[in-house]
């Protein structure tokens, strides 16, 4: 995992044999799991002093658009991520999914986004993003 690539953070997620169907194509469900694994790695590693920035958020929406299919042999999958925007209680992560062997200039196989609402687990409510979280999210946007 690194902070290089076309996003604020890039993760490489392995592909298991069971993630592909009989045609060898990766399932959409698996790609959503790939996004989750990459997102969790990013948010848990990105805080100050190696503490997570945001530890409790729930998915509000997921959007996944195929530009070309990925196959089992295209793995591992490279996932570039950045912040597309944020509001008082939620933020949106943008994704570009590519095959690990793709040239960096190759357009993504899939583009995606997830809108995440920040949760106060103890109070069982949504909570507002802190000023520090907003500053960090702003720094992770593509416009920087």
144 assigned to some structural domain: no
Residue with tokens 């590693």: 45
Report the C-alpha gap between 82 and 90 in whole angstroms. Answer: 14
Quote the pLDDT of residue 6: 62
* CB neighbourhood size of 48 (10 A): 9
* Residue 13: per-residue pLDDT: 95
Q: Is residue 4 part of a domain?
A: no
pTM, two decimals, is 0.88
Residue 123 forms part of a structural domain: yes
What is the reported pLDDT for 143? 61
Residue 47 pLDDT: 60
140 has a pLDDT exceeding 70: yes
Q: Is the distance from CB of 95 to CB of 8 less than 8 angstroms?
A: no
pLDDT at 7: 74
The predicted-structure confidence for 10-53, as pLDDT tens digits, reads as follows 999 999 888 888 888 999 899 999 999 999 888 877 666 667 77
- Residue 120, both tokens: 């106060």
Tokens linked to 135: 């500053």
How high does pLDDT run on average in the chain?
Answer: 88
Q: Is residue 96 part of a domain?
A: yes
Please give the residue range of the domain that contains residue 118: 9-139
26: in domain? yes
Is residue 135 pLDDT above 50, yes or no? Answer: yes
What is the domain-level CATH number for residue 85?
A: 3.10.129.10
Asked if residue 71 belongs to a domain, the reply is: yes
Is residue 12 within 8 Å of 34, Cβ to Cβ?
no
Is 114 contained in some domain? Answer: yes
Q: Tell whether the model's pLDDT for residue 144 goes beyond 80.
A: no
Instruction: Compute the distance between CA of residue 120 and CA of residue 124 in angstroms, rounded to an integer.
Output: 6
Q: What is the model's pLDDT at position 49?
A: 64
- Residue 3 included in any domain: no
What average pLDDT does range 64-83 have in this prediction? 95
Domain count, the chain: 1
pLDDT digits (tens, 9 = 90+) for 27-36: 989 999 999 9
């Amino acid at each position: 995992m690194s902070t290089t690539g076309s996003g604020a953070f890039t993760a490489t997620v392995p592909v298991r044999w069971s993630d592909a169907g009989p045609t060898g194509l990766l399932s959409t469900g698996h790609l959503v799991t790939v996004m989750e694994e990459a997102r969790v790695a990013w948010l848990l590693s990105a805080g100050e002093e190696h503490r997570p920035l945001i530890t409790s958020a729930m998915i509000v929406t997921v959007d996944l658009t195929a530009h070309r299919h990925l196959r089992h042999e295209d793995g591992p999958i490279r996932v570039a991520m950045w912040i597309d925007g944020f509001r008082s209680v939620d933020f949106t992560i943008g994704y570009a999914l590519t095959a690990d062997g793709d040239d960096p200039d190759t357009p993504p196989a899939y583009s995606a986004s997830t809108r995440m609402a920040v949760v106060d687990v103890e109070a069982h409510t949504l909570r507002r993003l802190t000023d520090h979280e907003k500053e960090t999210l702003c720094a992770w946007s593509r416009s920087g």
